[in-house]
Amino acid sequence: MIETIGDDRRFPSALAAVAEVEFDYDDGEGIDFEPYTAFDSAEESTDWIRHWTGNHELDGDAYRVFGQDGTGGLAALWCTRPGRPLAEQPVVFLGSEGERGVIAGNLSDFLWVLADGLGPMEVIEYEQREARPNPTLTELAERHATTPRRTAQEIVAQAQAEFPTFCEDLDELCR
């Protein structure tokens, strides 16, 4: 049986494996990412999206927050595909200063982005940032990914093409 999103907050094994990796920011040359060992609670997600948008009518049901960058920007699974498991939901980033965007079309592709040496913030902040393959994250992706390896650039372009209005739709929720 495949578990669909609903109120599912079970942490996928791939994210648990990511949480075991120590990310090195390397003075701005590495990955600025601090993975969590569990999703934020529904209450924490609601509080976050309300503060991020200024819209206190929203709830955080559409997001499963699983990590942050050093400034407090958050990486999340965006539950926008009804009836599909969490691992098949796109990965998004909402930065502390209003940065936002789609990172990958699913959790598996996100693992390949990390393997290319890019974290959520780097994808959104630096469109042309050069990939710096990470052997530890490559091995992790090889163990957990269900999609074929592609470059971070290809993955991000495909995900952003699939969800071209993510930023505008999010902006419309802001007050």
**More confident site: 4 or 174:** 174
Give residue-wise pLDDT tens across range 56-75: 999 999 999 999 999 999 99
Tokens of 38: 């569990």
Amino acid (one-letter) located at 105:
G
Q: β-strand 100-104 against 91-94: which pairing, if any?
A: antiparallel
Give residue-wise pLDDT tens across range 123-137: 999 877 788 899 999
Q: What are phi and psi of 13, to 5 degrees?
A: -60, -35
Model pLDDT, residue 127: 74
Q: Using an 8 Å Cβ cutoff, are 79 and 102 in contact?
A: no
**Sign, CA torsion 12/39/161/152:** negative
Q: What are phi and psi of 167, to 5 degrees?
A: -65, -45
